[in-house]
Structure 1
Amino acid sequence: MTAPISERLDDPETAREEGRRKMDWAREHMPILASLREEFTESQPFAGEVIGMAMHVEAKTAVLAELLAEGGAEVAITGCNPLSTHDDVSAALDAHETVTSYAERGVDDDAYYAAMEAVIEHEPTITVDDGMDLIAAIHEDYPELIDTIVGGCEETTTGVHRLRAMDDDGALEYPVFAVNDTPMKRLFDNVHGTGESVLASIAMTTNLSYAGKTVVVGGYGDCGRGVAKKAAGQNARVIVTEVDARRALEAHMEGYEVMPMHEAAKEGEVFVTTTGNRDVITAEDFEVMQDGVLLANAGHFDVEIDLVALEEMAAEVTEPRDGIEAYVMPDGRELNVLAEGRLVNLATPVALGHPVEVMDQSFGVQAVCVRELVESGDAYEAGVHEVPDDLDREVAEIKLDAEGVAFDDLSEAQAEYMGSWQHGT
């Protein structure tokens, strides 16, 4: 069985101190979780529950994990991406009395899935997932646990896509909240969080500017919209590629150039894929790209850029900077891949993930969804469920209160008017 992270580090005490420092900084800027901590510490809603988590184990996630533990749960956590874990944060989290962390950065596939199995061996009653690997592993390898699992939460776009496909096949056997799709996550985390953190990670990794460059954004969902908006805000020319006619039209009417990827490949200097699908950038695109382009992926899995084809095409591969692999083509062009094609805002050596304030909102939704499962899990059948609107609004109201922002309420007359079909001309 995989040992907790603290048993695998050379100097766990130093790591724990540094990890705790990062977590304390994040905690100071997460007022939603602070408000929920007051509630959960007093009411202990998760007493007796075992919460299994597969997430990006960095400072903000650690604050969520400790919140759930402080609410009475036993928490077992591991990473959801081999390159997104901060080992010092993982060690600090593992030092918590009721948290066990197995997450470690840079592990191979075997160790990654062994850590996932170690979490499952705690026999979770609730799962909190980012990418759906934990849910998939339970269904495929530990089906005997399903009857004792109350439900789960899924954090990200790719995971929700997988869950809905699983649900459509009739294979999802416990209820899961699609946290990604609720407004307090989608409109802020996906747009602002992804947009800001992706561009920041690329800039810090390369030490290059966006001003005057052509940035190609693959996909115009919420994440692509965020990347495009933030790149345009830094004076880049932005090209969008899409497979959906309505999204392509939306991007066009937002003022971006829209064209097929193979055409954009000839013009782009920075490429960011945001689709959650495979083969967004392929061999025929590599053939026409300019020397020195930057290739980055903001989707959950490393399948959006066809790295197998790129490696086969390259004469050699070098590492000009940490976090960058330069694929040198036979004609001398260099195509630079960031973070091995993995989630660029979390997997480069300097990546910090989404801004703290943004993740406070998303993790606030996760926390109230876990509370809902404990309190009312029997009301939800197996399958994918939208986050109840009152929970999403609760998180928004906590955030506004923390920011000192007041807003209006409907009067009784307004509420009656909006709820009636009988008021006409």
Structure 2
Amino acid sequence: MSNRIKDVTLSKEGKKKIDWAEAHMPVLISLRKKFQATKPLDGVRVAGCLHVTKETGVLIRVLRAIGANIAWCGCNPLSTQDDVAASLAADENISVFARRGISKTEYYEDIHSVISTDPNVTIDDGADLTVEMHKKMNGKFTIFGGTEETTTGVIRLRALQASGKLKYPIVAVNDAETKHDFDNVYGTGQSALDGIIRATNILLAGKNVVVAGYGHVGKGIARRAAGMGSNVIVTEVDPIAALKAKLDGFHVARMDKSSQIGDIFITTTGCKEVISRDDIYNMKDGAILANAGHFNVEISLPSLEALSTRSNRINEHTMGYDLKTGNKIYLIGEGRLVNLAAAEGHPSEVMDMSFANQLLSTIRLAESEGSLAPQVYDVERSQDNEIARAKLESMGVQIDTLTNEQKTYLEGFGEGT
């Protein structure tokens, strides 16, 4: 497929959206001002595989402003905003290999088109680009390293490292506190419910909302669903996460029990078949299924099809399935990321910190020029602190600082009472 969506009307709309996001991403813009003169990415080839949204458009603008040569593709078949992709191609002159609603074959063709640019740094979300890079690497690439945006991707890449097959260094951007404690909790918490509401216009108050998984994403969704009046039920396999959910005030139960009483189901685990054939069979009439995990494997879609006598499209984002039991089940966004398939993704304000981490991590890798060992690296604490302070400053918030006496006390054993 073409690396340009050639539509003037679309590109104009996309530019307006990117401009809007830029006005709400002060940390990223402050970093552009900081590095625009020195251009630490001058001539560095950056390949991105990340949701093509207005916020990503701002990141791409900043990367280019500080010198990077960029090629980009989407990391999910339903998350690309075509008007943003058109604007990046037409207005920013970026090689964009992305379009909403592509097939699996086209999806991987786009990734391979980005790989063909011989990147020095990869920016990934879900690790598909990184994994495909590893399949293609035969010594010809000049790769300094890569970054990973999401929990699912970090899990895959740590597994690659554990197997001894990781071929270049990866910075786990997802694991930065200024990413997962904000993007995952507040971003997904709000945007996942936004997607469900846009797709169904259902009233959340009074509904039984089953949240599968109580990591950062599940925690954020559970809190916001409860804040809108839902009765939240959490399912978990991790005893510590389940205990946290219980002490946070949520009902905790197994999925086989929850499936019988839930009105809305939201998966957040990164694992497959979290909602199984039996779970779907046991659901009551009118149950709604949504997924907030990276891949569309958390809900058993083959089982949903097999249990159905027919399906019909309710609207752009929602499919209805008539089960053999006589009940009807609704699926949002084909079981893909509901906050991007049925809404616009995370708010710009929270992606500001996530993408500031992406930018600084890309600079770190470029400056290493390939000297780092092939392993998964954490974001340095100093980077987390820099981003948090910049965000607070943009919000007009001031905090205390330690006195020299307090620093000395904390650095030693300290006196007792």
For the aligned pair, the TM-score class normalised by the smaller chain equals: over 0.9
Displacement of 1:380 in angstroms is 2.7
2:356 aligned with 1:364:
yes
CA distance in 1, matches of 2:92, 2:225: 43
| Percent of residue pairs identical | 44
Displacement of 1:355 in angstroms is 0.8
Conservation of the 8 A alpha-carbon contact between 1:251 and 1:258: yes
- What is the Cα-based RMSD across aligned positions, in Å? 1.2
What is residue 234 of structure 2 aligned with on the other side? 240
Query: SS at the partner of 1:267?
Result: coil
Greater Cα offset, 316-325 or 375-384: 375-384
Greater Cα offset, 85-94 or 295-304: 85-94
Aligned partner letter, 1:403: M
What is residue 28 of structure 1 aligned with on the other side? 23
What is residue 214 of structure 2 aligned with on the other side? 220
Tell me the alpha carbon deviations over residues 4-44 of structure 1, each in whole angstroms, 9 at most, x when there is no partner. Answer: 123xx4xx211111110111111111101110111222111
Tell me the alpha carbon deviations over residues 333-378 of structure 1, each in whole angstroms, 9 at most, x when there is no partner. Answer: 1110100000000012xx1000110011111111111111122455
Tell me, which stretches of 5 or more residues in structure 2 are unaligned?
none
Displacement of 1:422 in angstroms is 5.7
CA distance in 2, matches of 1:378, 1:408: 39
2:357 aligned with 1:389:
no
What is residue 118 of structure 1 aligned with on the other side? 113
CA distance in 2, matches of 1:15, 1:34: 25
Which residues in structure 2 correspond to 1:272-287 (within 5 Å)? 272-287=266-281
For residues 143 and 414 of structure 1, do their structure 2 counterparts lie closer, same or farther at Cα, with a shift above 3 Å needed?
farther
| Match of residue 413, structure 1, among 394, 405, 410 | 405
For residues 256 and 352 of structure 1, do their structure 2 counterparts lie closer, same or farther at Cα, with a shift above 3 Å needed?
same
Aligned partner letter, 1:400: L
Aligned partner letter, 1:202: I
| Match of residue 194, structure 2, among 177, 200, 213 | 200
Tell me, which stretches of 5 or more residues in structure 1 are unaligned?
none
Aligned partner letter, 2:166: L
Conservation of the 8 A alpha-carbon contact between 1:52 and 1:126: yes
CA distance in 2, matches of 1:377, 1:156: 24
Tell me the alpha carbon deviations over residues 233-255 of structure 1, each in whole angstroms, 9 at most, x when there is no partner. Answer: 00100000000011111111111
CA distance in 1, matches of 2:265, 2:26: 35
- TM (norm. structure 1) is 0.96
Aligned partner letter, 1:369: S
Conservation of the 8 A alpha-carbon contact between 1:73 and 1:98: no
CA distance in 2, matches of 1:422, 1:331: 68
Aligned partner letter, 2:117: H
Aligned partner letter, 1:76: A
CA distance in 2, matches of 1:211, 1:97: 43
Greater Cα offset, 91-100 or 48-57: 91-100
2:179 aligned with 1:180:
no
CA distance in 1, matches of 2:131, 2:138: 10
What is residue 91 of structure 1 aligned with on the other side? 86
Query: SS at the partner of 1:4?
Result: coil
| Match of residue 137, structure 2, among 134, 142, 145 | 142
Aligned partner letter, 1:63: V
Query: SS at the partner of 1:272?
Result: strand
| Match of residue 73, structure 2, among 74, 78, 85 | 78
CA distance in 2, matches of 1:345, 1:142: 33
Query: Which segments of structure 1 move beyond 6 Å, counting only runs of 4 or more?
Result: none
Displacement of 1:286 in angstroms is 0.9
CA distance in 1, matches of 2:124, 2:352: 16
Which residues in structure 2 correspond to 1:95-110 (within 5 Å)? 95-96=90-91, 99-110=94-105
